[in-house]
Structure 1
Amino acid sequence: MTYLIAQIWGYLFITACIAGITGWLLRDDGKKKLQELDQKWQENYTSVDNERKNYADKVKKMSEIENKNNELELKILLQKSSLEQAVQQLNKLQSKEQEVS
């Protein structure tokens, strides 16, 4: 009976040693993969952040252009209105001139 228990403890010890060595080897491989994954995520984050900044700049420029466009449209409307008033005054003067003639 003692012999059987000693064999069981011996095999458990050998199994524990094999598991420890395997775990140690896998741990190093896992660290390397984790570092590679972390580096890849960092590169992706940097790329996405740069792209976000680029689009933010484009949106800002488009907003400025839209504001300038709105200002120009308002200016055109004001000039069109003043031009129409000038044409009406000119037509009135022409009709008065024709009445006098």
Structure 2
Amino acid sequence: MKLAPVALPVVQLAADLGSSASKLFYRVQSDQCAPIWMGAEVVDGLSSVVLSGLSTAGRPQDTAWLELDEDVVMVGEAAKAFLEVNSLSMRRRFIS
């Protein structure tokens, strides 16, 4: 049996990172759009090594991350392990 090549899906994302909750909408096919509600925590600049200790048994919004090459951005509940306070509050403190 000869296998046909399969095209990789194109995933489109739109996010609203709020101070108390973040909303993420994703679309894999043109007629399907789905929301994910998660916490407001965001941690960037992590190494991909942290993913080996991440449990993926929970809900998708609790174990969400974005990996680009060797850089990892952790969001929502998964990010809480890397934060002492809400990251948006922390960033506002540094901006003011």
TM-score category by the smaller chain?
Answer: under 0.3
Q: Which structure is higher in strand share?
A: 2
Using CA pairs under 8 Å that are at least 6 residues apart, name the structure with larger relative contact order, 1 or 2: 2
Q: Which one has the bigger helix percentage?
A: 1
**Greater gyration radius:** 1
